[in-house]
């Protein structure tokens, strides 16, 4: 599973329209969010750093909810965009999520354990759990 890292407003217009998960590494305006949704109609998740997440307006939150797009807070730890524009969630983490799920662990327990061990945000772990993606 990969997350497209976007570090500037200008980059929004160069995105592949099939992007599903995007991490915005800048503080987006309402217009930036609208542009992102317009340019990437298949988008499912927008991830923002904690400090930026708090500044998103209620109207944008409602808009994203109506579009069925999740707005989650989180970081892409140690990612260097100059090397690769995508942050890849290691397949080992996805495998661990699957194993815990087949063991019958609760969603909350899986979110807590995986987020503690991998630095992934619990909301992102929950998204992976729901999607049950292939690595």
Reply yes or no on whether the pLDDT at 134 is more than 50: no
Sign of CA dihedral 120, 48, 84, 98: positive
In a shared domain, residues 80 and 124? no
In a shared domain, residues 46 and 109? no
In a shared domain, residues 20 and 71? yes
Backbone angles phi, psi at 73, to 5 degrees: -100, 140
**Would you place residue 36 in the very low, low, confident or very high pLDDT band (cuts 50, 70, 90)?**
very high
Read off the pTM: 0.83
In a shared domain, residues 37 and 74? yes
Tell me how many domains the chain contains.
2
In a shared domain, residues 105 and 121? yes
In a shared domain, residues 69 and 121? no
**Would you place residue 79 in the very low, low, confident or very high pLDDT band (cuts 50, 70, 90)?**
low
Sign of CA dihedral 27, 29, 30, 36: negative
Range of the domain at 36: 1-85
In a shared domain, residues 35 and 55? yes
**Would you place residue 135 in the very low, low, confident or very high pLDDT band (cuts 50, 70, 90)?**
very low
């Amino acid at each position: 599973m990969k997350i497209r890292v976007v570090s500037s407003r200008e980059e929004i217009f160069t995105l592949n329209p099939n992007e599903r998960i995007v991490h915005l590494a800048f503080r987006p305006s309402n217009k930036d969010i609208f542009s992102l949704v317009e340019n990437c109609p298949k988008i499912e998740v927008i991830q923002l750093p904690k400090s930026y997440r708090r500044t998103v307006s209620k109207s944008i939150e409602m808009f994203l909810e109506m579009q069925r797009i999740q707005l989650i807070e989180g970081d892409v730890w140690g990612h260097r965009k100059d090397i690769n524009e995508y942050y890849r969630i290691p397949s080992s983490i996805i495998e661990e999520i699957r194993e815990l799920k087949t063991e019958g662990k609760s969603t909350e327990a899986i979110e807590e354990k995986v987020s503690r061990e991998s630095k992934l945000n619990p909301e992102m772990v929950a998204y992976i759990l729901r999607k049950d993606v292939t690595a």
